[in-house]
Amino acid sequence: MEHKLEIRRKSAVFLNGRPLSSYEFDFTQIIKDYILAYNSKSFTIYSPSGIVVAYKNYEVVSVVSDYIVVQENGLKGLFSYDGNCILPTRFDTITLNSNGISNAIIVTSNNLYGVYSYEGKVILPIEFNYVFLTPEGIKVQKDGLCGAYSYYGKLILTPNFDSIDFKEKLIIVNKNGLYGAYSYENFEIIPTIFYSISYTINGLKVWKDNLCGLYSFEGQLIIPIKFTSISFINDTILVQEDNLLFGLYSKFGKLLIPVFYYDILFTSSGCTEVKKGKNDPYVPYKIQY
């Protein structure tokens, strides 16, 4: 016989037309064929066959997706829709990640933060001043300094920086107003000595003493730090020195056109033309890649 579990009058639970409780609840809702029924002091979860799989004298604080945040004596806990206790009621706050970034729950206790999995396992202990979930990992702050962990709880970056910024292939860090970059394995890729670092699809543009250069994502210096500007044109890199003269590098750092031309022109036909002075004509330049 197929069971028919239903809610009637918005507050009573029935199975095959028979009431399962002698009283009505303040609130009821269906979650994946289970029914959550609760009032201000307790909650009950019924299975699709009408069996009570959980009954607790906890207040229901909120329902997020398939999870139920509860409260006892002001402390929060977490249950799944089918009645399993994921987190006991011992946290000041529980924040569920409902945006699909990760399998992680942020909890707080005594103004400190930690992270748990949806299986109830500790990812990060409750010892941080702040945590923030990103697609790449977990940013943490401890004693005023920032670091990073993976969603498996592995240390990515020791909390030793004023700020960090996750990128696809590395982490840009800031310490005392200077910038550098680290790998996701906690290795320094670029020393923290630059006034600015910009993440581009071709590498990391760095600035120091009003001059810029370019590093690869692996930390190799592609373009020396001696130019006033760097711009990317197809698979080449146009550079300019403080004397306003231009040159051209390949994306691998090979010098294609020496830096002593007033202008470099890329024509629609794919040719390259240069001129040495302001009043000089453009002449073709054959690039040797």
Taking only the tens place, the pLDDT of each residue in 149-174 is 999 999 999 999 999 999 988 999 99
Read off the amino acid at residue 41: K
Residue 17 has a pLDDT of 52
Q: Which residues of 126-154 are buried (b: 16+ CB within 10 A; e: fewer)?
A: bebeebebeebbbbbbbeebbbbbebeee
| Burial of 96: CB neighbours in 10 Å, binned 0-12, 13-18, 19+ | middle
Where does the pLDDT of residue 1 fall: very low under 50, low under 70, confident under 90, or very high at 90 and above?
A: very low
Pairing of strands 178-182, 188-194: antiparallel
Residue 289 has a pLDDT of 75
Residue 124 has a pLDDT of 97
pLDDT greater than 60 at residue 9: no
Sequence ranges of the domains in the chain? 1-91, 162-220, 228-289
Residue 14 has a pLDDT of 54
SS3 272: strand
CATH for 162-220 is: 2.40.10
Read off the amino acid at residue 45: I
Q: What is the mean pLDDT of the chain?
A: 88
SS3 157: strand
C-alpha atoms less than 13 angstroms from C-alpha of 92 in its C-beta half-sphere: 8
Q: Which two tokens stand for residue 73?
A: 């004596």
Taking only the tens place, the pLDDT of each residue in 185-223 is 889 999 999 999 999 989 999 999 999 999 999 999 999
Taking only the tens place, the pLDDT of each residue in 242-289 is 888 999 999 999 999 999 999 999 877 778 999 999 899 999 998 887
- Sequence-ordered list of residues with C-beta below 8 angstroms from that of 58, at least 6 positions apart, any chain: 42, 43, 70, 71, 72, 77, 89
